Amino acid sequence: MDEFANKPMHAAARSKEAKLLEIIADYDKILGSTIAAGAAAERAASLHQGYVIPGDPVAKRSLADVRVFGSSVAEMREADFVADTSSVPAATMLSAAPNGSRLLGRLNAFEFSRTRGAVPVAPRVTAELAPRNEPIADVAVPVTIGSFQTVKPTAITRIDADELTDYPFAEKSIEAALLAGVGQRVDHVLVNGGTDGDETVYGLLDVGTVTTTPAGETTLDADHVIDAVARCENAGGTPSAVIGNPAEIRALQRSVASLYGAAYLDKLPEFVALPALADGTVTVPAGTVVVADLAQVGVGVRKNLEISKVTTEASVYAIDHVAIAARARVGDVAIADAGHVQVVVAAAA
């Protein structure tokens, strides 16, 4: 072979060699782009299915390393609730969470740390022009401190034990699910009240002033809302919210825009639509709307969420899952003047 190494290549041979090298280079480009496209497709599919990129190692942790609401899952009590160790108050978490409470952040939530609490209620008093040196005659309207019992809106979810320890984002998913479940149930209690069989609390529909529309007016419209706003203002309130189920709220907004123009919506209180719970339970009944000065509405909410885990219950243990529960403690809504909460109910058909 050495005798041919230094001999000049024939022109025809050089031409063939150049073409072969060109063909090889083209195939290399095609093969490279095919491999890259396949890798990109695999990566995209994995991202879509589970947010896990091929090749990324899972986080092999113990339950002691997994923290939900600031508390180690390993240290949570089995089927026994204790206060979480988060520094964020329960009312703040429940109102800030996506799909959480839509009312707690709009009214006055008073924190308490025991199983029951108290809410200060400022009365509406009338000032008079008192004659000189006359004693004050009317001292019959006191500021009151309303003590109350509580109910415990509770939500629970479960997850495979290995997935809980392998994937760090699992904790945030658990927290989001529990905050949404508890927060929406809190809104249901704030509107409707509720009972756990031992304690009963009252909601806006119980303590407000109820007005039923005249016979034949079976559908609420813009004028019913505007009239309720006026009644609330006449009672000394500053209406801040029109509360109803989503269908009712959207229908009322359309009614206002149709009768008075879309710009008139800006002159009314904020429209707040409260969705049904995950199981379909309606939060605000159809044909009902609440117009309220929520700044005048107080409710007691225990400062911390309470959390628990379940691993030994048969249905959970059999499939190697960990169930985690969270609950809040909520009392009655308290108002000084029933006129600050106007409940409008459409007449029966």
Considering the domain boundaries, does residue 155 fall inside one? Answer: yes
Percent of the chain with pLDDT over 70: 75
Distance CA 175, CA 307 (A): 11
The verdict on residue 97 lying in a domain is yes
- Residues 24, 69 within the same domain: no
Check pLDDT > 70 for residue 211. yes
Domain span at 35: 11-50
pLDDT score of 112: 84
Cα 293–chain centre separation: 22
Structural domains in the chain (count): 2
First to last CA, the chain: 105
**Residue 263 shares a structural domain with residue 310:** yes
d(CA 252, CA 34): 57
- Closest to 228 measured CA to CA, from 190, 189, 256: 256
Whether the pLDDT of residue 286 is over 90: the answer is yes
| Residues 149 and 213 occupy one common structural domain | yes
Report the CATH number at residue 204.
Answer: 3.30.2400.10
In this structure, the answer to whether residues 36 and 73 fall within a common structural domain is no
Domain match, 67 and 46 both: no
Q: What does the pLDDT look like over 290-309, one tens digit per residue?
A: 999 999 999 989 999 999 99
The answer to whether residue 5 sits within a structural domain is no
- pLDDT confidence of residue 336: 84
Q: What is the pLDDT of residue 137?
A: 60
Task: Please give the Cα distance from 85 to 83 (Å, whole number).
Answer: 7
Q: 100 near 179, Cβ under 8 Å?
A: yes
- Gap between the Cα atoms of 247 and 287, Å rounded: 10
pLDDT category of residue 49 using cuts at 50, 70 and 90: very low
Same domain assignment for residues 188 and 333? yes
Q: Are 35 and 110 within one domain?
A: no
Question: 174: exposed, middle or buried (C-beta count within 10 Å: 0-12, 13-18, 19+)?
Answer: buried
Same domain, 163 and 257: yes
Query: Closest by alpha carbon to 174, among 324, 317, 306, 328?
Result: 324
* Backbone phi and psi for residue 103, each to the nearest 5 degrees, phi listed first: -110, -35
Determine the pLDDT at residue 21: 72
